[in-house]
Chain A
Amino acid sequence: MRKKTLLFLIACIVLLLLFPVFLPRFYVYLLSIILLYGLLATSLNIVLGYGGIFQFHHAVFYGVGAYSTALMLTKTAMPAVLAFIVGPLVAAALGFVLGIICIRLSKLYFGMLQISLGSLVWAIVYRWYSFTGGDDGIHGIPIPDILSSYTGAYYYTFIITAVCIFLIYKIINSPFGSALQGIRDNPVRSEMIGINVKRHQLLALTIAGFFAGVAGSLFVVVDNTVFPDMLFWTLSLEILIMCLLGGWFSFLGPMLGAGVIVALRTFVSTYTVYWALVLGILMMLVIFFLPNGILGYFEERFKKMLIEPEIKE
């Protein structure tokens, strides 16, 4: 079983590495976008699926990470590497600050306060013309030569995403990750056995902010632009849908959901301007018929198949 998974993973990686060789430019670009959205959705899932925290406005960290990277690249003469490190760090810092303010509230109250404070960040970015470019955003961001070609951007995105996903997997399966899941399932009991609930949640929020910031810096590499819509609340809810669609109790669910939604958006948009209508209806169907997401559904089926023969023995 484990060997098979490993083989499957290696096959996936080889396939993803080979794609730019025979796929046209547009599909390579699309794949890069899918990968970075997948990372974004997975980072949200650290707090949402594993932490049980209603982080409604996750796109803020993605946008702030992207803006910080873009501003470092355009406004300063510092080495580009630094920009790609500072971007995620700023996002993590913001995650920490918003976390401190919101963490005192629980569940829905947390989410509503968080979405409002995130909108404050959006309002500042949207209005601060002299610094962030206001509603125009920043275009034509200078990218280091190795990354400026579309294949270079793809390989960079792929490697960073793979490393980050691996790190998130390790974090989820560390003692810290277990504690986080314990808090999700029973906060009172976790407190009783000596876990500092708020501190764990705050750390999780910071980590999630960091990886969202990484996704943002990847977008800068792939698209060379940033714009205020990247931290508007509608994008946050779209990321939530990605998690829901793929299955937020499965590790790779958000990745799958991101892939399905980004691909679908691209193809539907070529036929009609009413993508939001399609997405809305799709969401309603998922909410009613696939509450555990695509992967959750298959895992359930798969488990039944595995368990039943055992019962017979």
Chain B
Amino acid sequence: MDFIYSLVPPGVLSQVFVGLSRTTILFIVASGLSLILGVLRIPNVAHGSLYMIGAFTAFTVTKVFGESSTAFWMALIIAPLFVALISLIAERGMFQFLYEREHLMLLLLTFAFSLVFGDLVKLVWGGEYKSVPVPVIFQGFVPLFGGLPFPIYNVFLLVAGPVVAILLWLLTNKTKIGKIARAAAVDREMVGAVGINVSWVFAVVFVIGCLLAGLGGVLVAPTVSVTLGMDHNLIMEAFLIVIMGGLGNIWGALLGALIFGITQSLGILVWPQFGIVFPYLAVVVVLLFRPTGILKSTW
């Protein structure tokens, strides 16, 4: 370890890893976006709003269950399911009728939903800042990187990201619905022709993607102040990650999120004022060499 510290000071390393644990959340949200883009070809602008709803629901659930240690775990289950329910209603109620139309219409419909969701959140939860407590077992710090304190909750996030990635990989590669969904992404008509109800496959994929947005919202809630407008910046970052990694590719989303997180946290160290610009530059550089993203896109 001392050799590493002589190259990179522990302070920098600690900063990078805090940044990376934040990008875990970005990865979770972006993988949902990527899934929906890859299979349904919808650039889901409402994804950020669903993430915001997830965070606000986590606030309500943790409030209901009080300070008990189960509060966070309940939020972790209830909030994504709530978001999934909302997205199921939206998909069955509206999106499914537009799959044959221009993608621009689908984009605008998701934007309409993001406007409606944003105002509904304002209506239900109000405009004030909300805070969700860090769950009891994850409170405190562990000495990492030369004894510098590192928040335990961020360790949890660093573990959660790869777990979600593996689960998603299993879902898309090892289950029947995953295989059908991948086939439908390539040739929707052919999948329908062999007697599979494509409409419901799409609904399931859409709901799983949105559930991931809700999950990201719950996970981020203890680390930031939950507030209106938290959706707007996130959705652009998620878009960047998906484009950088290759549309529809889960591992691409992971890679994109890693690049995004590292360039962002290093950028903030190097040049605090323009730290947020570096990930964008990384995207431009990547796309100049690989116009369709680093990994193979499903398109």
Contacts and interface: CB of A to CB of B under 8 A. Distances in A.
B284 A284 contact: no
A75 interface: no
Contact of B45 (A123, A124, A237): A237
Contacts, number: 112
B120 interface: yes
Interface stretch (A9-17, A24-32, A109-117, A195-203): A109-117
B112 interface: yes
Nearest to A122: B236
Contact of A124 (B101, B247, B274, B292): B274
Contacts of B119: 274, 276-277, 280
Given A101-B288, A274-B123, A280-B112, A116 B94 contact: no
A100 B43 CA distance: 22
A121 to B, nearest CB: 9
A150 to B, nearest CB: 31
Contacts of B247: 109, 112
B103 A287 contact: no
Interface magnitude class on chain A: 35 or more
Contact of A116 (B108, B116, B240, B288): B240
A109 to B, nearest CB: 7
A287 B120 CA distance: 21
Contacts of A105: 291-292
A287 B243 contact: no
Interface in B91-127: 94, 97-98, 101, 103-105, 107-109, 111-116, 118-120, 122-123
Nearest to B102: A291
A279 interface: yes
Interface in A240-277: 240-241, 244, 273-274, 276-277
A210 B249 CA distance: 36
Contacts of A7: none
Contacts of B97: 288
Given A101-B288, A112-B43, A116-B240, A107 B115 contact: no
Interface of A: 54, 56, 101, 104-105, 107-109, 111-113, 115-117, 119-120, 123-124, 127-129, 232-234, 237, 240-241, 244, 273-274, 276-277, 279-281, 283-284, 287-288, 291
List 4 tightest A-B contacts by C-beta distance, closest first: A280-B115, A280-B116, A120-B280, A277-B119
12 contacts: A109-B243, A111-B107, A112-B239, A112-B247, A119-B240, A124-B277, A232-B232, A237-B107, A276-B115, A280-B113, A287-B98, A287-B105
